[in-house]
Amino acid sequence: MVRESQRESLAHIPYRREELVRQGSPRRYRGRALDQLTFPLGGIGTGSVSLGGWGMVRQQRLAGRWRVAVEVRGGRLSLETLHLGLTLAAVQVSLAGHGVPVAVTPSADGTVLHFVAPVTIKVGQALVGEGQ
């Protein structure tokens, strides 16, 4: 039984309960629809993690160190700069286990990595940045 106070708090939900709990077949996203697909994870004090439709981005904070990884699942990604939404004093970057030369510049809302030469991440490779 739904109490009046619950009914009022649920009044703004534009879906019926049956629509919200109904199980259907899995959806497949392709092409430009992948641009809009994002699955945020994490919480306050745990860092920010967002998984995108075209690849995988991981951001972790362990023992006071940040670790950011960009992995390409389809196609390839070429970068000259990478903007991180967190402030780091020093960063080490590697691609497929090999060091990548990078210049680090602070910005108003994070850190910008300027690659000395453009970096291309191919399917199955990961660009990893670690810093404090």
Domain segments of the chain: what residues?
A: 38-131
Query: Quick one: average pLDDT of 96-104?
Result: 93
Query: Quick one: average pLDDT of 40-51?
Result: 55
Residue holding tokens 């453009």?
A: 118
CATH number of 38-131, picked from 2.60.40, 1.10.8, 3.30.530, 1.10.10: 2.60.40
According to the model, what pLDDT value does residue 49 have?
Answer: 55
Rounded to whole angstroms, how far apart are CA atoms 86 and 80? 18
Find, among 130, 127, 116, the residue nearest to 47 by Cα.
130
From 22-26, 91-95, 119-123, the region with the lowest mean pLDDT: 22-26
Q: Which two tokens stand for residue 84?
A: 């991180």
Q: Is the dihedral of CA 70, 75, 81, 82 positive or negative?
A: negative
50 strand-pairing partners: 40
Q: Which amino acid is at 32?
A: R
Residue holding tokens 């629509």?
A: 19
Query: Quick one: average pLDDT of 29-58?
Result: 63
Average pLDDT, the chain: 77
Q: Regarding predicted confidence, which is higher, 60 or 17? A: 17
Find, among 65, 48, 72, the residue nearest to 132 by Cα.
65
Which whole-number Å values give the CA distances from 19 to 7, 14, 23, 27, 40, in the listed order? 17, 10, 9, 15, 23
